[in-house]
Chains A and B, each alone.
Chain A
Amino acid sequence: MKLTLRVWRQKNADADGTMSTYEVDGISPDMSFLEMLDVLNEQLILGGEDPVAFDHDCREGICGACSLVINGDAHGPERTTTCQLHMRSFKDGDTIDIEPWRAAAFPVVKDLVVDRSAFDRIIQAGGYITAPTGSAPEAHATPVPKPDADFAFEHAECIGCGACVAACPNGAAMLFTSAKINHLNVLPQGAPERETRVLDMVAQMDAEGFGGCTLTGECATACPKGIPLMSITSMNKEWLRATRKVAKR
């Protein structure tokens, strides 16, 4: 396949960026999207140009590093991560726009690389269960009903890629934040910190400059792990419950 790529190039966080156009040829449908970018970069290096910087690591859809907006969609046309998107989703002669995540809370570092450290700070605000090593009771001491365990797992699948934020017209991080809150709050082990967790994480999310939620639903559509939109509803319920409970104290 022969393709025209229009790629966002930006030297560093302070520089202005621009879309640059490149041609690539000999692209096989079995290549992953990132392997196609590898081809472009090999070509650029040999031509004496700077290769396009992009985040990637595991290339099997689980580390959450890769993060491209492809033709306007976070992670491109299929519901998966960019590294698991294959060129068979495109056809010969296509023009493909490639941009970084766009969100106020994710500043561009270089080219297609953005700074997602705001996510880490949201987790640091309460996205954990306090269980210092060595203090744990026997694992079977507390059974967890299977539906609760399954609910926790469904939300724990979040890979922290940030597609939800990139897809949201408001740049909101509700889906990311709610996934972790729901994972931990449904478990008996997470109960002692149930209220502080939701209040502190939501406060941190707001402090990071993520936008507000208008329930557009783009986040859940873009999520490569299928975190459901109802996750946000559950978080809001948790937040209201915690607010009332804390106010009563």
Chain B
Amino acid sequence: MTSYLDYTTGEPVADTKAPAGPINERWDKRRFEAKLVNPANRRKQTVIVVGTGLAGGSAGATLAEQGYHVVQFCYQDSPRRAHSIAAQGGINAAKNYRNDGDSIHRLFYDTVKGGDFRSRESNVHRLAQISVEIIDQCVAQGVPFAREYGGLLDTRSFGGVQVSRTFYARGQTGQQLLLGAYQALSRQIAAGNIEMHPRTEMLDLIVVDGRARGIVARDLITGQIDTYYADAVVLASGGYGNVFYLSTNAMNSNATAVWRAHRRGAYFANPCFTQIHPTCIPRTGDHQSKLTLMSESLRNDGRIWVPKAKGDTRPPNQIPEDERDYYLERIYPSFGNLVPRDIASRAAKNVCDEGRGVGPGGQGVYLDFADAIQRMGRRKVEEKYGNLFDMYERITAENPYEVPMRIYPAVHYTMGGLWVDYDLQTTIPGLFAVGEANFSDHGANRLGASALMQGLADGYFVLPATINDYLARHPHQEPVTDDHPVVQEVLAETGDRLNLLLSVDGDRTPDSFHRELGELMWEFCGMARTETGLRKALERIPQIREEFWRRIKVPGTGEELNQSLEKANRIVDYLELAELMCLDALHRSESCGGHFREESQTPDGEAARRDDEFGYAAAWEFTGTGEAPTLHKEDLVFEYVHPTQRSYA
């Protein structure tokens, strides 16, 4: 047993798949160089896809269309429910339909800059190129995007950019895109090309002879633990924001698939890069089970403010104009309320820390539509944001047409994830990661409306092209069966883990541990991080883990639908992942994007990046339970977008 602080630094890791040459030719070149699988041979090869969100749903459907045999899993009762469905705002694409100066290069530039120069140029450029095809694809599927009276697609501008490149379907863009992918998936299920396993959760990865060959999964209804084998495995299991307990993620979104893959050899990159979204509904009490996001499109017309005076408890409409501080407009006059998410979140925290926060506990700021209603009229505001206003009113019982909304930042997205190369392959050959599960495109901060773009780019276009190369190189893999010693070992470990959870019979519920871990992470690995705090968290997490295995209480048995067992098993993985997040945050003593280290800031309180020391992606290797991990650095080279201090003033 060694302390996590004793981590070692190993050989650097490099992406060997992105071709050299001009950046706008790299994707074409890679697609040409990648080997192909003969259409007649595809049906002989099986691909496992874990997850049915935008990335998994689109990947499964497309691979099946190409002729592969796809075996797909989701923990939900239907592949239509993955949490991509909750994305509200929109999806970016460099269509330049507005003729407002947008281009593929500008989307590429904005994404690299918005990610605070911690992403890979080749990947981001490809994402920008593919963005235009995504819109075509989704329209062909019948996704009902917002349209102008002439029948053409409408776009809007979105957090952190100055062009209107965001396509949207009222406040339900994620839902409509996901249903498009789900319908494509359904067509392939009906055609017999996809074997779909809903209510089935991946619990471990099977790696044979150094290659990913299958998974161990539990049928959540019967409790049956089964093995599934394939020629390649694709993880599309989403992000790990639920480490924080309270987040905007779905209640059951979890990190088990990626964490178990990490334990089996896949490097985990930049785990400390988490995004705190500025416009969420503040929490109301200890019973809070999750947080709800309000689309940041609200920042296009809403104005954010707090009282100038500390502890001003007057109702908002009694605070005169000259006693209000529209702090984003004051500090960042050119971007105003549209600064990137990390900046808006931190600014909200700062004013609340100063004692100028509003609402219960002073953990909130106003998002005010009074000016917008006066300028555009209530009807226009209703048309644009009606469903968001309704949602706010349902949750808070306050009418945002009359009283300004109260918002506060919440954990929303994780930029970190499994390290992948340009082909989206992890460090385990045959294991691919797509969507939020990988680390590739957003660097240290994701721009608004870019998650949907990345999930669909990975699933519809990137993975189906790159996975061919791997499958073509490994056409006849030795079949794996349950009596293989590796499989026996993985099955035994999985069974033992669940049995142990059921047998401790302690005095604390799974939720009580999850909540405790979440509070610790929010305090020390949340919006602002310090060396002292992170060291404290690193000391505390192993203690919570020890207590967990001593005091956890999981009722029922493993041979039935047992939601407490599902939860407890996910917490086992959060308790390990949390430690790696804190270590990553501690080692990266610079500030960048969503990762703000208080020790590293400019004189005026902005994040101070240190490119010379930290211009790399941190890929962590698991070295054994209770052992300190090994750090592998991937140097980030910027040939096209020269790193500058981000400025939104």
Residues of A bordering B, CB below 8 Å = 11-12, 28, 30-32, 34-35, 38-39, 42, 44-46, 48-51, 53, 55-65, 78, 80, 84, 86, 88, 109-110, 113, 115-117, 119-120, 123-125, 127-140, 142-146, 149, 152-153, 156-157, 159-160, 183-184, 187, 189-190
Contacts and interface: CB of A to CB of B under 8 A. Distances in A.
B511 to A, nearest CB: 6
A138 B147 CA distance: 15
B561 A113 contact: yes
Most buried by B among A60, A133, A142, A156: A133
Interface in B91-109: 95, 97
Given A53-B561, A109-B561, A140-B153, A59 B140 contact: no
A128 B186 contact: yes
Most buried by A among B148, B252, B512: B252
Contacts of A110: 221, 560-561
Contact of A187 (B144, B152, B172, B287): B144
Given A42-B509, A149-B147, A127 B556 contact: no
A119 B147 contact: no
A50 B555 contact: yes
Contacts of A45: 509, 553, 555, 564
Query: What bracket does the count of chain B residues touching chain A fall in?
Result: 35 or more
Given A32-B289, A84-B391, A140-B97, 14 more contacts: A31-B285, A45-B564, A61-B394, A110-B221, A124-B187, A129-B140, A131-B141, A132-B62, A134-B461, A136-B137, A137-B140, A139-B135, A146-B147, A189-B142
B85 interface: yes
Contacts of B139: 136, 139, 142, 189
B287 A38 contact: yes
B74 to A, nearest CB: 11
17 contacts: A30-B284, A32-B289, A35-B289, A45-B564, A58-B85, A58-B86, A60-B292, A63-B86, A84-B391, A116-B78, A123-B80, A133-B65, A144-B147, A149-B145, A156-B176, A156-B179, A183-B142
Nearest to A129: B142
B288 to A, nearest CB: 7
B11 interface: no
B183 interface: yes
Interface in B243-264: 248, 250-253
Contacts of A160: 78, 80-81
Interface in B148-164: 148-153
Nearest to A49: B555
Nearest to B58: A133
Given A30-B285, A124-B186, A62 B140 contact: no
Nearest to A44: B555
Nearest to A158: B179
A109 B560 CA distance: 10
Contact of B140 (A115, A124, A131, A146): A131
Interface string B618-637: 00000000000000000000
A74 B152 CA distance: 38
A128 B81 contact: no
A50 B564 CA distance: 9
Contacts of B507: 46
Contacts of B147: 143-144, 146, 149
Nearest to A132: B65
B209 interface: no
A117 B144 CA distance: 25
Contacts of A31: 285, 287
Q: Which 9 pairs, one residue from A and one from B, show the smallest C-beta to C-beta distance?
A: A143-B151, A128-B183, A136-B140, A131-B140, A124-B190, A136-B136, A153-B144, A30-B284, A57-B250
Given A58-B86, A60-B292, A133-B137, A152 B187 contact: no
Most buried by B among A32, A57, A65, A152: A57
B338 interface: no
A143 B152 contact: yes
Given A12-B560, A50-B556, A135-B140, A64 B289 contact: no
Contacts of B290: 59-60
Contacts of A50: 555-556
Given A160-B80, A183-B144, A144 B555 contact: no
B492 interface: no
Interface in B55-89: 58, 61-62, 65, 76-83, 85-86
A153 B149 contact: no
B464 interface: yes
Contacts of A35: 287-289
Contacts of A42: 509, 511-512
Contacts of A149: 144-147, 151
B184 interface: yes
A45 B292 CA distance: 27
B85 A131 contact: no
